[in-house]
Amino acid sequence: MKDNLFRTLIFCCISVFSMQLAFGQDILMTKEQPGFVQSELAIIKDRLNSSQPVRLLKPTAPSMALAEQIVANSNQLAPFIKDLNGSIMRVEVFGVFKALPSDKSADIASKCPDGSCYKVELYNFSINTAITTLVNTQTKEVVKMISIKNTQPDIPSYLKDLAIKIAVESKTIEKALGYKPNSTQAQMAGTKTSLNKSRCERSLHLCVAPTFVQGDKALWSIVDLTEMKLVGIRWTKVGESEARPGFTERKLQNEYITNCFCEKESKVEKNQWKLNYQLTSSDGLKISKVEFGDKKILDQAKLVDWHVSYSNTDGFGYSDAVGCPFFSTAAVVAIDPPEVLELKEGNEIVGFVLQQSFFSEGWPAACNYNYVQRYEFYNDGRFRISAASVGRGCGNNGTYRPVFRIAFASEMQQFHEYTQSGWNKWDSEKWQLQNEATIYSPEKFQYKISLNTKLRFGVEPGQGQFNDGGRGDNAYMYVTVAHREIDEGDTDLMTIGPCCNQDYQQGPEKFVNSEPLRDGKLVLWYSAMMKNDDRPGKEYCWAKGFLEDGVFKTLSFPCFVGPMFIPLP
């Protein structure tokens, strides 16, 4: 008995010390680590012990190299380099990009003019915090810095390569596949993931999942880039139908799309609608300054994240972003320009649609993605903000969760939810789920929003009624206060939520802190949920290839979600 107690005691003490080691981000080299990991750790250790401890990306363009130097040496970054006790934290530059208009708020634009304005993204491994900065290389100033805890920027190519190497060199992966894979076989290696019961859970560490497709299955190698090791493997089934990639040649359009739709805004004026639109770095197609008649309706709307989960219990999948082909690390990018199409109900033209597609290069093959964003504007003043996954993804049991950010124009807004006792006004920031037991108003509204311009809109979530194949949104709605002084997503946001949370923690909850709404300016965040399906006759969020008359064709089954906003008298 005493032996047991003694062992328990020793075990507890060892656990305490090892937790401190891990949380303290100590750089620990062990004999089991392969040589390339030890070399990488040695580089980090040297950097942490140097006078300038931020690891730089060292881009070849001198202006970009200058931009990251300015940030690394800035006073603003200092609190993210040393903790309160003066210990050095591990901070690395993850990306240096030419700043796009979508990265700049109106007050910043004059301080950071085109040509000398760069966006530098950094990640603090020690406190799991992403830091986004805008730098003016002319004035050598950091003009803006935002940090978001428990958030990670998209990773740079050297970390992607490292993740692939960790996976490819792993005996576990070799044993699971039955052969040693080569690095070109790894897919989605740069996209963030998580894994329950590991330090990757809920993205507490920076983790990615190089994935190897083998027949109708995919082997996920979950790599923890904070500790530089493989933390788990999982298998998913990717479906049986044949699917070959068919879009590689469209890469030729990347430059055209960047020049015409990422670097400048476009306008649409149709019927009574007026709006601007623009492709962002990682928030999809953004619309802004939306007016109907002479009335301002929206400041902006965009698609912040796509979360894709392949296990309800193990919690692994991808946290994706969609955006421009250049100046972005978005995993799924625009390779066609945005389209303005007629919106028809039967044979009647009832408005227009602004639509944008985003593709992974190899779609519709397994472990490739295709997303569509649609803004529908009706002649009668209704509008709908929607998106769809067109498959095919890395498994036939995936759950997709797009996250929209919708900012209405005007001050003095009020938000109401329909309940058993009628309309109930929200007084503070919070969230609500749409589920089977949700009660709707007689007009099918779950919410309504009032603007001070005397405009009111009913909010009708998808329940399969929009004739686009959608089967229901099952959405979380979050309402937050729009702050003038704090940027909570006015400019481009990196992926804010982990891939695989089952609950309300999809990212927007980071901005929900019960703050009173005070009839002020509000932001609506809408995170819908769709489960993909490859069962014959029931396909959803899915794509499959087939041969017709000797020609390879693709059959796709998009799963549209998104709320309709209907003007109220």
- Closest approach of Cβ 184 to other proteins, in Å? 22
DSSP readout, 141-203? Answer: EEEEEEEEET--PPPPHHHHHHHHHHHHT-HHHHHHHTS---GGG-BSTTSB---TTSTTGGG
- Closest approach of Cβ 436 to other proteins, in Å? 6
d(CA 383, CA 381): 7
For residues 30 and 110, which CB has a smaller minimum distance to other proteins in the complex?
30
Answer for which of 111, 140, 237, 483 binds other proteins (CB under 8 A) is 237
Query: Which region, judged by CB under 8 A, interacts with other proteins, from 148-156, 321-329, 331-339, 534-542?
Result: 534-542
Question: By CB under 8 A, is residue 235 in contact with other proteins?
Answer: yes
Query: Which region, judged by CB under 8 A, interacts with other proteins, from 55-63, 153-161, 318-326, 536-544?
Result: 536-544
d(CA 126, CA 266): 41
d(CA 132, CA 474): 32
Answer for which of 56, 109, 127, 176 binds other proteins (CB under 8 A) is 176
For residues 424 and 435, which CB has a smaller minimum distance to other proteins in the complex?
435
Closest to 281 in 3D by CA, of 97, 444, 39: 97
- Closest approach of Cβ 224 to other proteins, in Å? 10
For residues 199 and 374, which CB has a smaller minimum distance to other proteins in the complex?
199
Query: Which region, judged by CB under 8 A, interacts with other proteins, from 12-20, 103-111, 160-168, 385-393?
Result: 12-20
Phi (first) and psi of residue 107, to 5 degrees: -70, -20
Show the beta-strand stretches assigned E in 66-116: 91-98
Residues 404-423: x/- map of binding to other proteins (CB under 8 A)? ----------------x---
Is residue 379 a contact partner of residue 351, using CB atoms and an 8 Å limit?
Answer: yes
Answer for which of 234, 405, 430, 521 binds other proteins (CB under 8 A) is 234
Any idea what the Cα angle at residue 387 is, between residues 382 and 391, rounded to 5°? 155
Question: By CB under 8 A, is residue 437 in contact with other proteins?
Answer: yes
- Closest approach of Cβ 468 to other proteins, in Å? 18
Answer for which of 15, 52, 183, 419 binds other proteins (CB under 8 A) is 15
> In the numeric block, which tokens belong to residue 3?
């032996």
Residues numbered 20 to 79 that lie near other proteins (CB under 8 A) are 20-22, 24, 26-28
Question: By CB under 8 A, is residue 546 in contact with other proteins?
Answer: no
For residues 51 and 85, which CB has a smaller minimum distance to other proteins in the complex?
85
Q: Is 332 exposed, middle or buried (0-12, 13-18, 19+ CB in 10 A)?
A: buried
Answer for which of 248, 538, 552, 553 binds other proteins (CB under 8 A) is 538
Question: By CB under 8 A, is residue 87 in contact with other proteins?
Answer: yes
Question: By CB under 8 A, is residue 366 in contact with other proteins?
Answer: no
For residues 116 and 463, which CB has a smaller minimum distance to other proteins in the complex?
463
Q: How far is CA 548 from the centre of its chain?
A: 36
Question: By CB under 8 A, is residue 444 in contact with other proteins?
Answer: no
Classify 402 in phi/psi space as left (phi over 0), alpha (psi -120 to 50) or beta: beta
Question: By CB under 8 A, is residue 233 in contact with other proteins?
Answer: yes
Closest to 326 in 3D by CA, of 279, 285, 364, 393: 279
- Whether the CA torsion 198, 199, 204, 205 is positive or negative: it is negative
For residues 314 and 492, which CB has a smaller minimum distance to other proteins in the complex?
314
- Which residues does 203 contact at the CB level (< 8 Å), separation at least 6? 128, 150, 152, 192, 194, 319, 498, 499
Query: Which region, judged by CB under 8 A, interacts with other proteins, from 59-67, 106-114, 380-388, 532-540?
Result: 532-540
- Closest approach of Cβ 14 to other proteins, in Å? 10
Helices (H) and strands (E) in the chain, counts: 8, 32
Is residue 279 a contact partner of residue 266, using CB atoms and an 8 Å limit?
Answer: no
- Which residues does 235 contact at the CB level (< 8 Å), separation at least 6? 176, 217, 218, 219, 220
Q: Report the SS3 class of residue 81.
A: helix
Residues forming contacts to other proteins in the complex (CB under 8 A) are 1, 4-5, 7-9, 11-13, 15-17, 20-22, 24, 26-28, 85, 87, 176, 197-199, 201, 217-218, 232-237, 311-314, 397, 420, 435-437, 439, 471-472, 502, 531, 535-538
